[in-house]
Amino acid sequence: MNCFSEKRLRTMFYKRFWTILLTLVLVLPVYGQKYTIKFATLAPEGSTWMNVMREFDAELRKQTNGEVGFRIYAGGVLGDEKDVLRKMRIGQVHAAGFTGVGMGEILPEVRILDAPFLFRNYDEVDLIYDKFYDHFASGFEKKGYILLGWAEVGFVHVFSKVKVSTLEELRKIRMWVWEGDPVAEATFKAFGIQPIPLSVIDVLTALQTNMVDAVYTSPLAAIALQWFTKVKYMMEVPLADAAGAVLISRRMFNRIPEQHRTILTRLAREYMRKLTLLSREDNRKAIETLKQNGIQLIPKPDEQTLQGFYTTAAKARRALVGRYYSEELLNEIETTLEEFRKNSTSP
């Protein structure tokens, strides 16, 4: 009995010790660190996102002699993107990773990057993201945020329970749309689809109960969210490229000494590019995993059908002019892509 009590007390002691130690690590500033950037992300620990952020943090500390570093809150522990934005506005959080939904709350015109069928391959994505970086960075700065780097989610595809090869077939399905994303909702309506708005956490149940029979997401997310277990098909042609970025509040950014800000911005661009390339590779591998688990890829349709998608998408993009972005910006981006396609051998 005494032996059992001693072991139990020892176990309780070690649990208490590690709990206190972890609390100290999270709450107390790092020794010698003068500027702690509180960073929030929905990405879970162990993900490519978090692995790269940990590398970024380590290199930032190294090059600033330990004076600047991140305190990372992963897995959505600080709430969704809108929750995090509220915390950034009052200074509780300094930086975060955002999708187009969160970025659009700050700078609506950035949602043009999520527009349907705007991009056809990653060469086009890189072209536009690089050419218009300063344009969007300036827009964010005027709103009180600094764009540290793009960190796209990647191409999203339509996953469905029934085979969808044409625009007419697409209009017949019950399509989910992310609740609170007016751009996605407006896009589907422009395609003649009346989407069913639901929060992300309700989608799996909606698929199980046949409330919806089609969703859109990246291949990697389809696996992570287990949505692939309730569908049979994936359209090979991507619906859109889902934007993403890391932003830091201008207030926190300006608190950091100029020499360290230079290091922070340089490393951010470097590591966000690394993250983007790794995410693309993760999505390529995810497609192979989906195929191995019985998901059938619906091949790219014939040219006439494909042009039908592109024409309707162009109208959808025009329908969003004035609500989210200017006609001038849309024209400039579309013209840049058209010129690129004329001189490109990419598919």
**DSSP category for residue 28:** S
Determine the pLDDT at residue 325.
95
Helix (H) or strand (E) segment spanning residue 177: strand 176-178
Burial profile 264-292: b = 16 or more Cβ within 10 angstroms, e = fewer: bbebbbebbbbbbeebbebbeebbeebee
Give residue 263's pLDDT: 98
Helix boundaries (H) for 209-324: 219-224, 250-255, 258-292, 303-319
Contacts of 218 (CB under 8 A, 6+ apart): 153, 154, 155, 156, 157, 242, 283, 286
What pLDDT, in 10s, does the model give residues 16-65?
544 444 344 444 444 456 899 999 998 888 899 999 999 999 999 999 99
DSSP collapsed to 3 states, 298-347: ECCCCHHHHHHHHHHHHHHHHHCECCCECHHHHHHHHHHHHHHHHCCCCC
Identify the CA nearest to 96 among candidates 271, 249, 208: 249
- φ/ψ of 130, rounded to 5, equals -75, -45
Provide long-range contacts, Cβ within 8 A and 24+ apart, for 63-66.
63/263, 63/267, 64/260, 64/263, 64/264, 65/32, 66/30, 66/31, 66/32, 66/33
pLDDT-based confidence at residue 88 (cuts at 50, 70, 90): very high
The predicted model scores a pTM of 0.85
Find the mean pLDDT for residues 278-282.
Answer: 95
Percent of the chain scoring above 90 in pLDDT: 73
Quote the CA–CA distance of 321 and 315 in Å, as a whole number: 10
- pLDDT at residue number 32: 55
Residue 247: phi and psi, rounded to 5, are -120, 150
* Tens of pLDDT, residues 109-160: 999 999 999 999 999 999 999 999 999 999 999 999 999 999 988 999 999 9
Assess contact for 174 and 211: CB atoms under 8 A: yes
Domains of the chain (ranges plus CATH)?
A: 33-112+121-152+243-284 (3.40.190.170), 155-241+286-342 (3.40.190.170)
pLDDT (tens digit per residue) in 321-338: 999 999 999 999 999 999
Task: Quote the pLDDT of residue 9.
Answer: 47
**Rounded percentage of the chain residues whose pLDDT exceeds 70:** 90
Decide if pLDDT at 212 tops 90: yes
Q: Are 68 and 30 in contact (CB under 8 A)?
A: no
For residue 253, what are the contacts with CB-CB under 8 A and spacing of at least 6?
146, 261, 264
